[in-house]
């Protein structure tokens, strides 16, 4: 796949998928379920606008019946005039559906648990739940709501019942369906199998989504598998935030699909780091500095061996920093080398002659070991002039 900003070579070419996938963001609903995160309506509106500018196709504004704050947030986002299509979230119960009608939300996922584990936990048998699902889909269709059936814990549902539920939901009025790996238990191979069967069961005219969680660290891989099997929508959140190990990370999924599989989306990758940072700030958490796509150390180099190749980005990076709106840089520490000193001195406009670099490097390494941290630019100036 030829792309001036992607340097992955030809290894993946035989496994390309191609085409285009839609991105469905659930940061404002599933993402807020991250433990300890509370976003007020105005903050959710700010995030929705950021998502819109990022190129997200569909934004799930929230679950209006959870609280007055959620109701207000859904109303604000729905009325904000965004380019993205605004979706709601509802259970297959009359009061939830009536709330969507009252708010004028044009589209919504409608959820119901369908695994025996979930049904037994809430004390509802299969037939009763199936009746609720079909009634909800009919209600949505009658009120002009574009409904996507969302079978909670569908990856652990009994296969025959799963097939019956999804076919019945579509027959009753669901225009789209979501394969839901609620606890992130499905391997990518199993996701591909289930998505492929779902596409076959509901027919080619019914879009199939994939909603995955990251409990085994496979959410991105599973999203790719779902797209290969025919899913046309991938659900996820900014930074992968969500309950437990979180949801699929939309930035990671979008970059992976584009760079490794040739699948395009409307996500503006050069904006993803800025959006990631603002969502972290509003939510009150921090990410690992080595996080794919958005990690702060992805394009910072300390190793002297790597610094010697710093002038040639494709030799040390799989894609360009510009692709994701990041800055490249050399930092100094225990693992620095002579090239690190040369590059940092030039960056700061310092005159460090070649014959003096080994001495300065020794000082840098000693300072880094002593304080068990990187050596700042100001500290480097001091050491270089000492």
Mean pLDDT in residue range 204-229: 98
pLDDT, one tens digit per residue, over 356-368 is 999 999 999 999 9
What pLDDT score does 253 carry? 98
Domain count, the chain: 2
pLDDT, one tens digit per residue, over 155-199 is 999 999 999 999 999 999 999 999 999 999 999 999 999 999 999
Q: What is the pTM of this model?
A: 0.94
Give which of 309, 370, 312, 301 is closest to 336, Cα–Cα. 301
- Pair (144, 247) in one structural domain: yes
Mean pLDDT in residue range 269-292: 97
pLDDT, one tens digit per residue, over 36-92 is 999 999 999 999 999 999 999 999 999 999 899 999 999 999 999 999 999 999 999
pLDDT, one tens digit per residue, over 327-351 is 999 999 999 999 999 999 999 999 9
Q: Give domain status of residue 274, yes or no.
A: yes
Distance separating alpha carbons of residues 34 and 29, to the nearest angstrom:
10
- Pair (219, 311) in one structural domain: no
- Pair (25, 131) in one structural domain: yes
Domain boundary residue among 283, 315, 338? Answer: 283
First to last CA, the chain: 50
Q: Using 50, 70 and 90 to split pLDDT, how confident is the model at 1?
A: very low
Q: Give domain status of residue 137, yes or no.
A: yes
Domain boundary residue among 228, 258, 283? Answer: 283
- Pair (264, 330) in one structural domain: no
Q: Give domain status of residue 1, yes or no.
A: no
Q: Give domain status of residue 235, yes or no.
A: yes
Q: Give domain status of residue 42, yes or no.
A: yes
Mean pLDDT in residue range 195-223: 98
Domain boundary residue among 283, 316, 338? Answer: 283
Q: Determine the structural domain holding residue 53 and report its residue range.
A: 17-283
Distance separating alpha carbons of residues 263 and 19, to the nearest angstrom:
5
Q: Which residues contact residue 212 at a Cβ distance below 8 angstroms, ignoring those fewer than 6 apart? A: 181, 184, 186, 191, 218, 219, 222, 223, 226, 235, 236, 247, 248
Q: Give domain status of residue 172, yes or no.
A: yes
- Pair (121, 215) in one structural domain: yes
- Pair (358, 212) in one structural domain: no
- Pair (151, 241) in one structural domain: yes
What pLDDT score does 2 carry? 57
Give which of 172, 132, 178 is closest to 155, Cα–Cα. 178
DSSP for residue 322 = G
- Pair (304, 203) in one structural domain: no
How buried is residue 123: exposed, middle or buried, by Cβ count under 10 Å (0-12/13-18/19+)? exposed
**Residue 116 pLDDT greater than 60, yes or no:** yes
- Residue-wise over 222-255: b if at least 16 C-beta within 10 A, else e? bbbbbbbbbbbbbbbbbbbbbbeebbbbbbbbbb
What pLDDT score does 385 carry? 87
Query: Which CATH number covers residue 205?
Result: 3.20.20.70
Give which of 315, 363, 370 is closest to 340, Cα–Cα. 363
- Pair (273, 332) in one structural domain: no
- Pair (108, 153) in one structural domain: yes
Q: Give domain status of residue 234, yes or no.
A: yes
pLDDT, one tens digit per residue, over 239-279 is 999 999 999 999 999 999 999 999 999 999 999 999 999 99
- Pair (28, 74) in one structural domain: yes
Q: Give domain status of residue 288, yes or no.
A: no
- Pair (30, 72) in one structural domain: yes
**Residue 386 pLDDT greater than 90, yes or no:** no
What pLDDT score does 230 carry? 98
Q: Rg of the Cα trace of the chain? A: 25
């Amino acid at each position: 796949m030829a792309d001036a900003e992607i340097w992955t070579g030809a290894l993946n070419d035989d496994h390309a998928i191609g085409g285009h996938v839609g991105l469905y963001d659930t940061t404002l609903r599933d993402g807020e379920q991250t433990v300890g995160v509370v976003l007020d309506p105005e903050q959710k509106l700010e995030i929705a606008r950021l998502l819109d500018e990022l190129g997200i196709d569909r934004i799930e504004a929230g679950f209006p019946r959870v609280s007055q704050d959620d109701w207000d947030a859904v109303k604000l986002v729905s009325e904000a005039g965004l380019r993205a299509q605004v979706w709601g979230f509802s259970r297959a119960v009359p009061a939830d559906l009536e709330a969507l009608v009252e708010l004028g939300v044009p589209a919504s996922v409608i959820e119901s648990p369908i695994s025996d584990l979930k049904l037994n936990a809430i004390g509802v048998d299969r037939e009763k739940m199936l009746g609720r699902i079909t009634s909800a889909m009919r209600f949505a269709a009658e009120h002009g709501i574009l409904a996507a059936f969302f079978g909670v814990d569908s990856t652990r549902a009994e296969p025959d019942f799963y097939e019956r539920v999804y076919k019945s939901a579509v027959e009753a009025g669901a225009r789209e369906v979501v394969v839901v790996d609620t606890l992130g238990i499905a391997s990518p191979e199993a996701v591909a199998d289930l998505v492929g069967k779902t596409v076959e069961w509901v027919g080619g005219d019914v879009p199939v989504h994939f909603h995955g969680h990251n409990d085994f660290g496979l959410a991105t891989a599973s999203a790719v598998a779902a797209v290969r099997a025919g899913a046309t929508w991938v659900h996820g959140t900014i930074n992968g935030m969500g309950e437990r190990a979180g949801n699929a990370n939309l930035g990671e999924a979008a970059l992976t699909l584009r760079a490794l599989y040739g699948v395009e989306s409307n996500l503006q990758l050069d904006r993803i780091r800025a959006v990631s940072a603002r969502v972290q700030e509003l939510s009150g958490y921090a990410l690992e500095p080595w996080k794919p796509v958005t990690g702060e150390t992805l394009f910072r180099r300390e190793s002297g061996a790597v610094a010697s190749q710093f002038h040639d980005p494709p030799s040390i990076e799989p894609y360009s920093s510009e692709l994701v709106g990041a800055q490249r840089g050399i930092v100094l520490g225990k693992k620095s080398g002579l090239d690190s000193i040369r590059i940092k001195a030039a960056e700061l406009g310092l005159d460090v002659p070649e014959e003096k670099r080994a001495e300065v490097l020794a000082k840098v390494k000693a300072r880094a070991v002593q304080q068990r941290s990187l050596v700042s630019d100001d500290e480097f100036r001091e050491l270089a002039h000492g």
